[in-house]
Structure 1
Amino acid sequence: MSELFYLSAVEMLGLLRERRVGAAELTEAHLRRIEQVGGEVNAIVTLTAERALAEARRLDEGLARGHWQGPLHGLPIAFKDLTDTAGIRTTYGSPLFADHVPASDALVVRRARAAGAVTLGKTNTPEFGTGSHTVNEIFGATRNPYDTAKSAGGSSGGAAAALAAGLVPLADGSDMGGSLRNPASFCNVVGLRPTPGRVPDASPTAAWFTLSVAGPMARTVADAALLMSVISGFAPTSPFAVREDGSVFAAPLDTGVAGMRVAWSPDLGGLPVDPATAAVTARAPGVLAGLGADVEQVELDLSGAEDAFRTYRAWHYASAFGELPRDLLGANVAWNVEQGLKVTGADLARAERLRSGLFQRMNAFFDTYDILICPVSQVPPFPVGQRHVTEIDGTPMPDYLAWMRSAYWISVLHAPAASVPCGFTPEGLPVGVQIVGRPWADLTVLRAAHAFEQATRYGDRRPPLG
C-alpha cells in the first residue's frame, strides 16, 4: 500500500469496491506522487487538485449509501491538453490559447466522468499535437521518466510520462501519426490507436477526417481495455462511428494466441531502424511463437502510405489552422500549414487512390494473417533538447516528420494498432512492439498484446524516480 499509485487500475478498482481504499485516499496518494516527482517529468501541466478531491469525496459519500458510479469509479485520470475539459484550462500547447477554458467537455471526458473517473488535470502535448516530441512554448518539454535527459515521445507524451511515473493510472490520448503509440513505446506503457470510429469525434469542421483518432493509454493492457470499454461506442456526432457497444472491451483478454497467424516485419518493407531498437523488437516473434502462435516473417508492401499520409495530413493542417496568424505558430505547425496550402485537387485524388489500393491489399493480407507485429518507432528515446530525429542508422531524415514512418504508415490502414512494452536497450531505455490488426479487430489486438505482456512482464519495470 506504500506504492498505491503504482497498482494497476483494475487492482485499484478492487480495493475501492471492497472499501479497503476510498476514492479520496486514492486521489491523495496520486497528488502526493505528483508533488514528489511531477516536476522531474513535467507531464501534468494543469493540476486540478481541489476539484479532484471534491469529486472523490462525493464518490465516497455515494458509495457509503451503496451507489457505485460506474466502471471507472474513483480512478484518477488526466486528459490530454488537446482534449476539451469544461472549466479546466485547455491550451492545445499553443500560446494562442494559453488562457483558454472550454465551456463543454469532449466526448471522452463526458464518458469517463460519467463512469466515475476523477479528473486530476491536463497532460502536456506539443502545439496542436504536432510531432512525436512533447515540448511547447507554454509549458516546456516533458521528460522521459526512465531517463529525464530523453524525450517522452509525443504527441501524447505527457500522458505516457504521467503513467510511467505513477502520477495517474489512466490517461487519454490522440493519434494521427503515432501519438498514442510512439510515447507509449518511449515510456514503457500501453497505447492503443483504435479503429477510426471506435471512439467517435464531434468535429464541426473535419467530421469525415479518419486519420486522427482518440484512444486509451495505461500501464497494462487490461487497464487500456477498461478505459476503452468506457470511451468507445456509437455516437451520432460522427458520420463513421462504429455501432458496436464499448462493453465489448470488457470481455476477457486471456484467450491466448495459440494458433494465431502472426506476420512479423522488422522494418515495414525497408525502413531504417536503429540497431538497439531492432535488437529489442526482434525478440517479439519468438515470444509469440513460444505461446503457440504461427509466426512468419513477411515482406510488406505499404507503397503509397507515405504519399497518402502526407497529403491528407497537409490538407488537414491547412483546413484546421490555415486561418491562424502564421507568425504566431510554432515552426512545425507553420510548416504543415504551408505544405497544406500547396495541396491540389489532383493531389487529393491521388492520395485517395493510393489509400484505397493499400486498404484492399491489406484486406487480402489479413485474410492470411490475424495480426502484424513490427516496430512502433524506428529509434529509442532521443535527447530531450533535440527537436527531432535527424538520422536513423546512418540514413538522413529529410524533415521532422520522416522518422515516424513506422507509426504513420500504419495510420493510413484504418486499422487498430497497439504499442506494448517489448524490453529495454542496454542503456535502459524502453522499446515497444507494435501489434496491428485488421480494421475493427481491436479486441484481437488487445488480446494479443495482453498475451505478450503477461509472458514478458516488461511493463512491470519502474523508472528510477524518487
Structure 2
Amino acid sequence: MTAPDANSPSVPGDDIVALDAVALSRSIHARELSCIEVMDACLAQIDRLNPTVNAIVAMQDREALRTLAGERDAQLSRGESLGPLHGFPQAPKDILPVAGMVTTKGSPIYKDEVSKVDAVIFERMRKSGAIFIGRTNSPEFGLGGHTYNPVYGTTRNAFDSSRSAGGSSGGAAVSVALRMLPCADGSDMMGSLRTPAAFNNVFGFRTTPGCVPYAPSDDVFFQQFSVAGPIARTIPDLGLLLSVQAGFDARAPLSRRNDKPADFAHALERDMRGTRIGWLGDLNEHLAMEAGLMDTYASALRHFETAGCSVEAVNIAFDFERLWNAWIDLRSLTFSGTNAPLYRNAATRRLLKPEAIWEIERGLKLSGEDVSRAVRDRAAWYQAINALFDRFDYLLMPSAQVLPFDAQLDWPHAIAGREMDTYHRWMETVVPATMAFLPALSAPAGFGPGGLPAGLQIIGPTQGDLGVLQMGLAYDRASGYSSARSPLLG
C-alpha cells in the first residue's frame, strides 16, 4: 500500500483518534496512516477538549512534535520500526522523570525542575517509538485520589466536567477516555491507576510489584507499594502498552526476570468457563459505600456469569481496622523517608499541602516496634487473602466507594453519613490488593445514580498478571461497558 502524503491527511482526524491502540499501531505499520496524521489528529483533539478538562499539561512545541512524527515516518519508509508504539503520541504522568521535560510532581517546589534521565518505563516507551507531547496531570506528590495541584490546577472528569477525574493518574485516565491519547501510563500506590479508571470508564491495571521496573528510585529495595502500569480503553490496548513496559531491568532489583512481556499483547484469549470468582463486596459492611453503588456492582457481577464463571459472595475473617492501621503506618513511613528533608526546610515546608505534612509527621513519629507490627499485620493479611485462592481463581471488589464527586472538593469527608477520619479513608477499598502484593485491574462496571461511571476490581493471585487481563477481556466482552462514550466527545 502506498503511504499517505504526510502533508495532506487522507483520514479524518476524528476517525484516527477513535481507533483503539492496537488498530492504530497496525494502521501505522501498514502505512495506512502517517505518523504526522496521527500527531495532528491527537493535537487537534487536545485543542478541542483539553481546555475543558485540563488533563494534559506542559505541552511541547508543536512544530518539534511534527518533526519527530516525520522522522518516524521516514524510519518506516526505510522498513525500520521501533516497536508497537511507533509514532504514538504519549504524555508521561507527571510523577516519574522524563529526560528533557519538567517533572513537577504537582508541587511548586519542583515546578521548574527539568529531568535529566528517563524512568525505565519511559525509556522503554520512547525506545518503542512513542513521542512525548507533554505530561498528564497528577495531584501533589501523587497524594490523594483527586487530581488537583497548585502548579497546573484541577483535572476534570471525562463524563462530567463538574466532577473529579480521580487520581492520582487522573490526567492519564481522562486523556484516554476522551481520545486525546490512544493509551497512557500511570502509577498506583493506593488506587492511583484504579480510582481514575473507575471514574472515567476506562481500564487501569495495578501490576504486581516487579512486573514493571520502578526505577530510578532511591528506595529500589523497598519499592513494594508504588507500581507503574497502563491505562487504556480496551484490554488488548492495555496488554499492548504493558508488553512494552514490563520485563526485568537490573536497575530495579525487585523486577522479575522470568516474565514474558509479549504475552500481555498476544496471549489474552482464554476460555473462562468454569472460573470460580469470589465477591468481597464491602468487606461485610466495613467499607462505607455511596447510596446506590452496591446495586450498580450487583448488576455488573451478572456479566461474569454470562462469561461462564461462577460468582460467590465471600467474607474474610480479618480485622480490617488492623489492616488499615498497618497500611497508613507503612505508607507514612515510605513517604516521610523520601520527603522529610522538604519538611525540615522552612522554605519548602510552607509549599507542602496539608496531606503531605500529615504523612511526614506520622512517619517521623513511628518507632521500629510500630513498623515491625505493621509488617507482621501485613503478612497476616496476605496469608488470609491468599488462602481464598484455594477456593477461587479471582476475587472481585469495588474500585471505589463513591461515584465521581464535585471537583471543587478536596476529598469526600463523609460517605453515606459516615465521617472519613483521614484524607484517603474514602479510598480504603483499594488497600487490600496493594497490601497483599496482588495484581488488580479496574474494569468499567456500568453507570451509577446520576449516570456517573463506576469500576470493579478484578484481583488475581500472586504474580497472576496475565490471568487478570484474560479475565478482564472475557468480562468486558460480556458486559460491553467500556464501549460507552463520553458526552463530551459529541
What's the CA shift for 1:239? 2.4
Q: Which moved more, 1:159-168 or 1:360-369?
A: 360-369
1:174 aligns with 2:192: no
Q: Does 1:224 align with 2:238?
A: yes
CA contact (8 A) 1:234 1:245 kept: no
1:302 CA drift (Å)? 4.9
Structure 2 CA distance, aligned partners of 1:51 and 1:282?
Answer: 49
Residue from 323, 335, 340 that aligns with 1:317:
335
CA separation in 1, counterparts of 2:115 and 2:399?
Answer: 33
Corresponding residue for residue 293 of structure 2 = 277
SS in 1 for 2:469: helix
| Structure 2 counterpart of 1:442, one-letter code | D
Q: Distance in 2 between matches of 1:212 and 1:130?
A: 12
Question: Residues 276 and 380 of structure 1 are in contact (CA less than 8 Å); yes or no, is this contact kept in structure 2?
Answer: no
1:291 aligns with 2:307: yes
Whether the aligned pair in 2 keeps the contact of 1:38 and 1:44 (CA below 8 Å) is: yes
Q: What is the 5 A alignment of 1:22-421?
A: 22-48=34-60, 49-207=62-220, 208-243=222-257, 244-270=259-285, 271-303=287-319, 304-324=322-342, 325-421=348-444
2:300 and 2:479 in contact (8 A); partners too: no
The separation in 1 between residues aligned to 2:474 and 2:307, in whole angstroms, is 8
Is 1:452 aligned with 2:467? no
Q: Is the 8 A contact 1:260 1:294 kept in 2?
A: yes
User: Would you say the 8 A contact 2:119–2:216 is kept in 1?
Assistant: no
Cα distance, 1:204 vs. partner?
Answer: 4.2
Tell me, yes or no, if the aligned pair for 2:120 and 2:216 is still in contact at 8 Å. Answer: no
Letter in 1 for 2:331: R
How many angstroms apart in 1 are the aligned matches of 2:451 and 2:15?
22
Query: How far does residue 193 in structure 1 lie from its aligned partner after superposition?
Result: 0.2
Q: Structure 1 residues 380, 176: closer, same or farther in 2, change over 3 A?
A: same
For the residues of structure 2 that align with 1:436 and 1:229, how far apart are their CA atoms? 20
**Equivalent residue pairs, number:** 466
Match of 1:3, SS? helix
- Quote the offset at 1:203 in angstroms: 4.3
Say if 1:186 and 1:431, in contact at 8 Å, map to a contact too: yes
2:57 is paired with a residue whose SS is strand
Gaps of 5+ in 1: none
Deviation (angstroms), 1:250? 2.2
The residue that corresponds to 1:4 in the other structure is: 16
**Contact 1:269-1:302 within 8 A present in 2 as well:** no
Letter in 1 for 2:51: G
Range with bigger deviation, 75-84 or 24-33:
75-84
CA RMSD, 1 decimal: 1.3
Q: Which of 28, 32, 48 is the equivalent residue of 1:16?
A: 28
Q: Following TM superposition, by how much is the alpha carbon of 1:426 offset from its aligned partner in structure 2, in angstroms?
A: 3.5
SS, match of residue 438 in structure 1:
coil
Give, in angstroms, the shift of residue 202 of structure 1: 2.1
Q: Which residue of 1 aligns with 2:9?
A: none
Change (3 A) 1:302 1:213: farther
Residue identity opposite 1:113 in structure 2: R
For residues 46 and 454 of structure 1, the distance between their equivalents in structure 2, rounded to whole angstroms, comes to 36
TM-score by length of 1: 0.97
Q: Which has the higher strand share?
A: 1
Could you list the per-position Cα deviations for residues 225-251 of structure 1 after superposition, in whole angstroms to 9, with x for gaps in the alignment? 111111010011222211113222123
CA distance in 1, matches of 2:306, 2:45: 38
| Deviations 1:271-297, CA, capped at 9 Å, x for gaps | 121123212111232111121112111
Normalising to structure 2: TM-score of the pair?
0.93
Q: CA 1:214–1:403 in structure 2 vs 1: closer, same or farther (change >3 Å)?
A: same
Contact 2:203 2:235 in 1 (8 A): yes
What amino acid maps onto 1:33 in structure 2?
Q
Contact 1:322 1:337 in 2 (8 A): yes
Structure 2: distance between partners of 1:124 and 1:387: 16
Is the deviation greater in 250-259 or in 310-319?
250-259
SS of the residue 1:368 aligns to: coil
In structure 2, give the amino acid aligned to 1:53. Answer: R
**3-state SS of the aligned residue for 2:450?**
coil
8 A Cα contact 2:87 2:130, kept in partner: yes
| 2-structure distance, mates of 1:127, 1:291 | 40
CA contact (8 A) 1:309 1:409 kept: no
Which consecutive unaligned segments of at least 5 residues does structure 2 have?
Answer: 1-11, 343-347
What do the CA deviations read for 1:318-360 (whole angstroms, capped 9, x no partner)? 1011110322211111111111111111111001101111112
